Amino acid sequence: MIARKSAKARSHRRHGLPAALAAGASICILSACGDALNPAFLDILGPGIVAPRGPGSAGHVVVALRNDTIFDDRILQHLISAGLDEEIVTASGVRPRMRMTFLITFVNGNTMQVQFDDGSSDIVHPLASQATQADLARPEQNNVVVQCDVARVDLIRESIQVFVPDFFETTRIDPGDENTPPFRVRVTVDPPQFEVLQIDDVDEFGTITTLRNIDIRDAPAPAIGPNCGSVVTILVSGTLSLPFEISSGGNDVPGVLNTNGVALAASPGRFQINVGIR
């Protein structure tokens, strides 16, 4: 009896194990395990046998930027007077070019940096250099889709930039002498370029001491622990505006007197950044 049982048991084991292996392999092949097999081996089997699903995903978090900023009309008119095609300026959807960098931190500590560029790339002074054009040539990207799970999304404050599309002149007043009345002298001319937006300077009571580009209450905050499947939204609004000053040539151009620190600090405009999770 015991001997028969042993033989029977051995027989079961002998037939059972390979059958189980074959069944397991079949199930594995037909299901998601197709991704684990060597593609060359899959090619031998033929496309009808296995259809890899592709890299699986647990879910996604989307980080999306919407640029709702506008141009001050005075800048656009000045660009048209400088020779920019009016059709470009009056086209729908014209908005200042923004760029900013995000740091995405995942729950396992790994990080990813992504730069977003969004806005019009053809609103620029006609005499801008080739280097400036190259800076604007980077294609627009206003969203990124990453895997779950994300620990936080930070907007790197020093990376928030807006493209100033016009030349900006700083002048000073030369007092002249007994024979010459005071006159304006050009100090610097900044070409069209990206400018970093700065947050207002405040004292210990929160009172603004220097008005810059972003109110401290409108400054970007990190998005902490977005759930899998959620969307981290970054909404940028505001107006790109420049002070105008009489140039050394007597024209009204974007610029400041070198003594006008207030106007210089507030350039190039006022913006708000709102970070949310939906």
Partner 1 sequence: MKNRGRRVRRAGRATVVGGVAGAMALMGCFDSALLLNPSFVNTVEGGLFPFVPGAANEMILIRSVNTTNQSLLFVVTIERARLLAEGSGSVNESETIEVFTGPGDLANEAGVLFDCTGDNPINRIGLGENLNRPDTEPGLFVGGVGDITQGFGVPPNINPLSRENGDFACGDTVIFEAFISANAPGGFKVRAFVLPHEGQPERTRRDTFTVAAEFLRDRPSEE
| Residues within the interface to partner 1 (CB under 8 A) | 39, 52-62, 64, 66, 68, 92-93, 104, 106-108, 110-115, 139, 141-149, 227-231, 233, 278
Shortest distance, position 188 Cβ to partner 1, whole Å: 28
CA distance 66 to 5: 74
Q: Which is nearer to partner 1, 227 or 259 (CB)?
A: 227
Shortest distance, position 128 Cβ to partner 1, whole Å: 21
Shortest distance, position 185 Cβ to partner 1, whole Å: 38
Shortest distance, position 144 Cβ to partner 1, whole Å: 6
Nearest to 159 by CA among 120, 114, 201: 114
Q: Which is nearer to partner 1, 149 or 215 (CB)?
A: 149
* Adjacent-strand bridge partners of 171: 186, 257
List, in sequence order, the alpha helices (H) in the chain: 2-30, 39-45, 73-81, 86-90, 130-136, 261-266
Shortest distance, position 182 Cβ to partner 1, whole Å: 44
CA 40 to chain centre: 39
What are the counts of helices (DSSP H) followed by strands (DSSP E) for the chain? 6, 16
* Adjacent-strand bridge partners of 118: 98
Q: Which is nearer to partner 1, 6 or 111 (CB)?
A: 111
CA distance 250 to 118: 35
Shortest distance, position 180 Cβ to partner 1, whole Å: 49
Q: Which is nearer to partner 1, 151 or 187 (CB)?
A: 151
* Adjacent-strand bridge partners of 254: 244
Q: Which is nearer to partner 1, 73 or 201 (CB)?
A: 73
Q: Which is nearer to partner 1, 80 or 187 (CB)?
A: 80
Contacts of 43 (CB under 8 A, 6+ apart): none
CA distance 108 to 233: 23
CA distance 171 to 34: 69
**Separation in Å, CA 273 to CA 35, 95, 214:** 42, 15, 8
Shortest distance, position 106 Cβ to partner 1, whole Å: 4
Q: Which is nearer to partner 1, 80 or 114 (CB)?
A: 114
